[in-house]
Structure 1
Amino acid sequence: MPTPIDVFFSYSYKDESLRDELEAHLAALMRRGVIRGWHHRKIDAGDDAQAAIDEHLEAAHVILLLVSADFLASDYCNELEVKRALARCRAGEAQVIPIILRECVWQDAPFAELEALPRNGKAVTSWAVRDEAWKDVIIGLREALPRKSPGEQPPPDPPEIPEIPRDNPFQKRGALKLDKPSYVERTCDHELGAALERHPLVVISGDYEVGKSSLLVRTHKQLSRSRSTCYLDLQSLRTDDVNAFYKRFFELVRRQFGKADDWVDLAEVADRQPIALLLDELGHLTPDVARLFVPSLHHLAVTYEQSVRVVVCLPCSIHEFLAARGLHNPKHRDGWLAIQVEPLSDAGIDRLLSLLPHPAHKVARAHRSEIIRMSNRHPRAIQCICYELFEAARAGLPAEVLLARLGDKRHYG
């Protein structure tokens, strides 16, 4: 089966509804595996957003510029995405196709020399029948698409051990990605789901490496169905400098919610639509940053309790965190609902071990008590152990090697 042609959508967030319409009209090509579309809304929670955008922009065979006045006014779209797209186009690495969504003076843009769609550059929203405009766009795209994706490779040889799945279901580092089947639901999952229906302020607490971040990733997926959601790993921000922290924080928030240069803007967003802020690693905030950030965050959630949800992760209670940062005002302690993330139960551990292929499963079952002792029932440690056992079994290593992997602290410490 031919490799799908990767298509990158560059657009202003204000044109998101038009991008959705275009995707609907492209669905037949996607379903047949002719193309594979990507845009920033497909970034997984916990991923580095900028790195993901850069990666897909560099890998795309076709780059669609969804043009409107807002697109032309966006510094981000023009200074980063358009410039790089045109550079790749000039180098023969990718096709760039402007699609005129709304009437605007695009003829002065740097991509004006490219042939635009719909025909004659007539904006999609200017057509009397919108579907006819999209039909014209799709016909033009089909004619412009390369017959096969560049660098298409022959299919890989079948695996030597067919009974072992190709993809390792376990993960050694970071929040567990959504496509990994090794996530184990616990009581905290259901408690959090119920809490988010009623409480504007929720703190997920528990030991280090007990699975708080992985739970937050799944909360992001759940909430994004009903509200605009922004997931941030605060550890990746400059937590030692107040100005640098705030600058980066609102840059990232702005990508999800639109205009949000400060707390006043964010409050205006919350007044218009339901939003959620999911903040991992709140404990990395220094006292100087926390004393400014947490009261503002608390005020936003309490003031707009119907439309705002704030979920944070901490290795301690919210009261311990506030006291350690010098936040002694009692009102900042009010309103937080605590969700405790507990270690894995026996059933949860057995669920993970059941994903191991034979003979790794046999070895793990025989040494189950040792795995529990080494991991202290923490999901990440068990994930690491199972990851290494899976890889060793896939390589066809004998049982004694599997046992050695099981006892090596480098694989779970």
Structure 2
Amino acid sequence: MRKKVFISYSHKDEAHREDLEDHLSMLKRKEIISIWHDRKIIPGDDWKGSIDENLDSADIIIFLVSPSFLASSYCLDVEVKRAIERHAEGSAKIISIIVRPCDWHECDFSKYQAVPKDAKAITLWENKDSAWLDAVTGLKKYITEFTTRPPSKEILQAESPVTVSVDFNRWLKDTEIVLSHRKVDKVLLSDIYVIPDVEFEREFKEKEINISEADTVYKEPGFYLILGEEQQGKTSFLKKAFFELASKGITPVYLDATGITKSDTDKLIEKRLTKQYDGPILEKLVDKQRKVALIDNLDEIGLNEKYRNIFLENLAKEFDWIICTCHSAFNYIRTEVPALSKYTACTLLGLGNFKREEIIRKWIALGVEESINENDLYSKCDELKSQLNTVIKRNIVPPKPIYVLMLMQMFEAYAQQNIELTSYGHCYQQLIYQSFEKAKINGREYEKYLNVLTEISWHIFKLGEGLNRHQIDNFFLEYEKTYLSVDKMEILEKLLAHSILSEKHGKIGFKYPYIYYFFVGKKIAEGFAEDPFIKENVDLLLERLHREDYANILIFITHHTKDSWVLNKINEVLGSLFQEQSCATLTKHQLSFMDDFMKKIPDLVLEQREIQNERDERNRSLDAMERDRSATTYDDADAPLDILSSINKSFKGMEIAGQIIRNRYATIPRDALYQLANSGAATGLRFLDYFIKISDSSKSEIIKVIEQMLSEHPHISDKEIEGYAQNTYLHLTYGVINGVVRKIASSIGSKEAFEVYDALSKQENTPAYTLINQAVQLQFTRSLHIPTIEQTKERLKNNPVCLRILKEMVIQHIYMFPVDYKEKQQLSSMLGISIRGQRLMDHKKAGKA
């Protein structure tokens, strides 16, 4: 049986740790041992939890003893202390390797075996390889002779000798969906699971949204009701809770309410415990504080209202800690269950930006934890996250864990198979086919169901709302005038039962937006050439591009057709927006009104920031903004004022242009790509020209408004108010210029079509296009190419505003990705950015020493 080796060492002895691994390579190849040390921790993971977990599961614990090791509080006070406890229990073996001379003989671990021969430090040997050979020869003997503890069932309870049964443990680790990964044969739940966020129920609407990590419910005893839609991860969460509770010496019992038909809890619990644990267990459950009931699918329990309540009351007599899950719809009737009145309710949320990045990191690092470096990890993470965000954005596809995992698999499979993707059309189509499989629709009937859904979507689009039952009957009557007859009841039953269609408030519509957009786009793409009515509706979509749903339908049209009419229509719309304006050039002359302001603002400094912390903070901010946006209620169908409509259409149009560029770069001719990129960039810059001119002409009015707001502060003089107001105005103006340049780049940018933006920058030859080109390079290649930045800086010399924007772009990149200290020095010298404190921060990144 392969034995696990844990290496405890100071990071100042990193080279010695690498030498040791080299000399143990044959044992690894023969699968006699596996090796773990803290360099295998993925950035962003819980490092202490990872160390504790691997230290507790190791068979052989090796200390690389040196003065640095003895000086490390963490090594001596935490790792050595726990290792000695495990050695005393007989569950692990301690072996010390003396790598550098030091006074280790008085340490607690000095009584255990030490190598090499005579405990002579590795560095004192004349030949280093001979020293390591001697040390490893001794290690082999101890590794071979040491008898490992009997194989555990993986969940050992700290205060109880009972263990989880093999079969139940296998189910706990199972993801219950087929996941294929390029590096591992079988993906386990623990490999990719991230704890979701939950929103706790609020007593009053005006209170702040109470959002916490879902693990709150298994950290504090109580009665909890967790609500979530289908495939939201409710069962997976209970599996995670089971693992975590059991590891703390608490005895959880899992009950699937779907199969419960009796309210007698005693027999039910006894039966489940017998299946879930090995050995005698009932006598260990006397203490109510040391056990937890995990009830899954409470809404599907096989008891009537009366006995469902009795069942819950009986549970409450046995357990002080109960965690139940149920479908979100159960929330409407839970007040009818008196026993649930004492429960705290919370709703499982989809994976936001923060959680998506966490699951992406786990997926990318899976199987290569030992070899992947930070730069590759973050670069691949951002690339995959960008793809996911394109598909999931604004809840087109629900951000449920299962969808995120399925999409990551698809991206990987398409990349390997070199499948041509038209704006992620294959992803949406595959998701729909998987829904068909779940509904047990025969493959030969796919075309029939696809056609019915296409026609239903078009009917709903024309009406502007879902169909009531009478309208559904009429729809099928009309359908059968054109197409062969279908079994209306069978089709509706399957589509409604498997989350393709849904019925709310007496109206039948599509469960998820992506299915609706997919089929409306399909109808328009297939009928545009022949149906004048469809052409009229395309013009309507373009006219109301500011609407979220219309913009998304246009994007989905590009999934279904490569015809040039789509590009021509989008170029026409983009060209019509702010057509009275010229493109903002952002020359020194155009921005001269900001010269004095730029002289007064402080110089930029690279601060001490940890990359993962910075990325986490950014993702949390994005999540907060998205929650605020979704909480804002407005009727998107109402046409806003002309100017607001034009602004909205400009940014939506740029996004559509960028989607087409990113996903059809290989099949669209170079000239068409150039025209599309130019149309998008020019639209954004015409808006920026409009903003700068209107802002400059309204400067005095804006400053007066700001002054009026500041005048309410009694301790500011009139002169100070005037100065603050002018600075505030210029800050806002600078912020918009900076933000629009970056928005243009993120909207139309593409990693694959970079030469298009380079050509565009050279052709237009203005500071604005130079900045856009540089922003695209940083955002989509995710690398700092110093010669390119130097060229950009040279083009922008004597332009304080644009140089400032360039510096901010570079600093933001350094905060988000690992950058070598020498490169930072080069950039500091080139751009005049202070890097005070950076050397100290880079040294500290090594961790313990």
Greater relative contact order, per chain length (Cα 8 Å cut-off, separation 6+): 1
Under TM normalisation by the shorter chain, which class is it?
0.3 to 0.5
Q: Which has the higher helix share?
A: 2
TM-score of the aligned structures, taking structure 1 as reference length: 0.47
TM-score of the aligned structures, taking structure 2 as reference length: 0.24
